[in-house]
Amino acid sequence: MEPGQLQIETFAGDAMRPHIPALAALRMRVFREFPYLYDGDEAYEATYLADFIAAPSAALVVAFDGDRPVGCSTCVRLAEEDDALRAPFAAAGIDVARVFYFGESVLLSEYRGRGVGVAFFAAREAHARAVSACDLAAFCAVRRPADHPLRPQNAASLEPLWRRRGFTPYPNLVCRISWKQVDTEAEVENTLSFWLKPLCGGALP
Ligand SMILES: CC(C)(COP(=O)(O)OP(=O)(O)OC[C@H]1O[C@@H](n2cnc3c(N)ncnc32)[C@H](O)[C@@H]1OP(=O)(O)O)[C@@H](O)C(=O)NCCC(=O)NCCS
């Protein structure tokens, strides 16, 4: 798939390995911005990404401008993810084995609005269908108050994009993850809420 001049490729298994430094760099750069405000840490990135590539069902989707990676997106079976992500589903009575978890999508700002985000969803859904029998896709997004002091005046909401991709918000299905922010001295706990989509045309839980 080629949105504009960009090439979108999906990598799994050992083929992900050469692209992990690009994923770490893009995460640290893009997640520094509102709403994540993540003050990235290379040691944390190395541990987190080593766990990620060890998961048998994991895939990494990369957007290339020529040879240069300008965006990345990840997915993995929820059953292979951390307890912090699995526990809310178990508590809500949703079988974790049904769920393919879509992790981050990070794209340099100058490449946005030309369909890469749409291509990231399509590639991850294709991977989920190819490697699993999961009938639900899920991702989570950080919640920030409308009057957050670091919210840019022209901040665009991704919610319309997610709804048009077929996802439904579950505001009460939340996880809590801590990270050091650009505006804090230490790690702070953030609340993220999930969005779900049926992968096989079935009903939502
Ligand atoms: C999330 C993110 C990757 C989305 O990237 P994006 O490339 O701007 O998104 P897209 O261009 O695919 O989608 C935006 C709109 O442009 C449309 N679009 C523009 N050009 C298009 C093209 N050539 N082909 C298809 N769609 C196109 C899309 O259809 C979509 O509109 P729609 O929702 O009405 O369908 C990007 O905004 C980002 O990195 N954000 C910061 C990090 C973040 O918050 N990530 C999400 C949580 S992990």
Inform me whether the pLDDT recorded for 73 exceeds 50: yes
CATH code (residue 136): 3.40.630.30
Domain assignment present for residue 204? The answer is no
pLDDT, position 1: 46
The full DSSP string for the chain is --STT-EEEEEEGGGGGGGHHHHHHHHHHHTTSTTT-B---HHHHHHHHHHHHHSTT-EEEEEEETTEEEEEEEEEEGGGS-HHHHHHHHHTT--GGGEEEEEEEEE-GGGTTSSHHHHHHHHHHHHHHHH----EEEEEEE---TT-TT--TTPPPSHHHHHHTT-EEEEEEEEEEEEEBTT-SSEEEEEEEEEEEESSS----
CA 203 / ligand 1 centre spacing (Å): 26
Among 5, 118, 159, name the best residue to mutate to test ligand 1's pocket (greatest count of ligand atoms within 8 A of Cβ): 118
Query: Which among 107, 32, 28 is positioned nearest to 65, based on CA atoms?
Result: 107
Domain assignment present for residue 164? The answer is yes
User: 75 and 128 in contact (C-beta within 8 Å)?
Assistant: yes
Domain assignment present for residue 37? The answer is yes
Inform me whether the pLDDT recorded for 202 exceeds 70: yes
The letter for the amino acid at 133 is: A
pLDDT, position 22: 96
Domain assignment present for residue 38? The answer is yes
Domain assignment present for residue 205? The answer is no
Inform me whether the pLDDT recorded for 96 exceeds 90: yes
For 101-110, the pLDDT digits (tens) are: 999 999 999 9
CA 120 / ligand 1 centre spacing (Å): 9
CA distance 40 to 52: 17
pLDDT, position 2: 53
Domain count, the chain: 1
Atom of ligand 1 nearest to the CA of 104: 48
- Could you identify the residue written with the tokens 């700002």? 109
For 10-55, the pLDDT digits (tens) are: 999 999 999 999 999 999 999 999 999 999 988 889 888 999 999 9
Domain assignment present for residue 168? The answer is yes
Domain assignment present for residue 203? The answer is no
Range of the domain at 141: 3-146+155-198
pLDDT, position 43: 87
